[in-house]
Each structure stands twice: as C-alpha cells, then as structure tokens.
C-alpha cells in the first residue's frame, strides 16, 4: 500500500470522524465511534473505495495514532481533534507535567494575549509534552512561536487537564496569564 494512499485515507478519516460524518451519511455515537461497515458504504457513495484492510493499515501505521479500532474490530473513532457537536468524549482528568507546550503562529499572538488559547472549532485546546511536537503543530499556520503553559498554576485555579490515548494533552482554554513564550 502506497504512503500516498495511506495519507489520503488518513485525511479523509480525520475529516469524517472528527468533523463532518454527515458528508457521507455516517453517524457517530457520543464517544465518536462509527461502524466500519457504514463508513465503507458511505465512502463508496462518495466514490471512494475503502476496505477493512486499508482502514486497518491506516490505524496501525498512523504516526500520530489518530484513530482507534474497537475491540471487536467493527468500529473506528478519532482519538481527539473533534469539532463535531454530537461527539462528547468521556475523558478522565489527569495530572499533567509541570510544563506543556503549544505551537502557534506569530500572527495569532496578539489575539492570544488578549483572549488566551481558545479551542476554536475543536472541542479542546491541544497541548504537547514536547517542544518538537508543538513546533511542528505551529508551523502549519505560519512563522512558529512556542508557548509554555504553567500547569501547576492552572491546576491551583481549578482548570482541568485530560490526556487522549495518543498522548495529546487537552484542556478547555488557557487564559493568557498562564502563558509565556519559549
């Protein structure tokens, strides 16, 4: 299977499993799960040929572990990054490391200084343990700047943190007083 096919399929799966399942007539449950049979049928109506094997390869080889299969192998979901309002992942609160990082573009800084980090269209603000990861995330939007998040201060003020199965840290928002540029 070519890398291009795997990448294209990963992008398609991100689109339907995080954002627009209705685009192919798919329904997600509140935990984000979709039937693989329905996913294959919906994709076929859209002119895209998916197979269980291809989906399994994408899930297994994905460098960011974006997707998970159910134990019985019949369902798939995106692990984080949703904007779809029907999905409300049950996430367990977890103690984060003392510093988490968020990569963004310099052009967003003025607004971030004003409003803090907000989730935008997604359900959470995404944070990472590694500067390298944050740098890659920020580079997608322009000249990158990495922000440090003071998690002990946030915890002391009652903010909550969650960790997705793939290691990405999530929180509802990060007011500007907890941010510092690296």
> Binding to ligand HQG by residue 181, rule CB under 6 A?
no
CB 81 within 8 A of CB 122: yes
Is 34 a residue that touches ligand HQG (CB under 6 A)?
no
67, 81, 84, 162: residue in contact with ligand HQG (rule CB under 6 A): 81
Which of 58, 137, 145, 149 forms a contact with ligand HQG (CB under 6 A)? Answer: 137
Nearer to ligand HQG, 140 or 153 (CB): 140
Q: Which helix (H) or strand (E) holds 119?
A: none
Q: In angstroms, rounded to a whole number, what is the distance separating the alpha carbons of residues 67 and 82?
A: 12
Please give the Cα distance from 7 to 57 (Å, whole number): 11
- 10: tokens are 């990963």
Identified binder of ligand HQG from the candidate list 47, 49, 120, 158, rule CB under 6 A: 120
Cβ closest to ligand HQG, residue 41 vs residue 135: 135
Paired with 150 in beta bridges are 99
What residues contact residue 119 under an 8 Å CB cut-off, 6+ apart? 125, 172, 173
* Residues binding ligand HQG (CB under 6 A): 14, 64, 66, 81, 104-105, 108, 111-112, 115, 117-118, 120, 122, 126, 137, 141, 168
């Amino acid at each position: 299977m070519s890398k291009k096919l795997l990448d294209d399929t990963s992008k398609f799966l991100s689109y339907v499993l995080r954002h627009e399942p209705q685009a192919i007539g798919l329904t997600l449950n509140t935990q984000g799960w979709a039937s693989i049979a329905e996913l294959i049928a919906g994709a076929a109506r859209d002119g895209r040929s998916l197979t269980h094997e291809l989906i399994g390869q994408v899930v297994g080889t994905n460098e960011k572990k974006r997707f998970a299969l159910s134990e019985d192998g019949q369902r798939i979901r995106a692990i984080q990054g949703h904007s779809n309002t029907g999905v409300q992942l049950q996430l367990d609160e977890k103690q984060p490391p003392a510093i988490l990082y968020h990569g963004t573009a310099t052009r967003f800084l003025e607004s971030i200084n004003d409003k803090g980090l907000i989730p935008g269209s997604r359900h959470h603000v995404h944070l990472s343990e590694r500067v390298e990861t944050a740098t890659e995330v920020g580079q997608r939007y322009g000249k990158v700047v990495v922000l440090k998040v003071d998690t002990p201060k946030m915890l002391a003020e009652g903010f909550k943190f969650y960790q997705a199965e793939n290691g990405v840290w999530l929180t509802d928002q990060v007011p500007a007083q907890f941010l510092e540029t690296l």
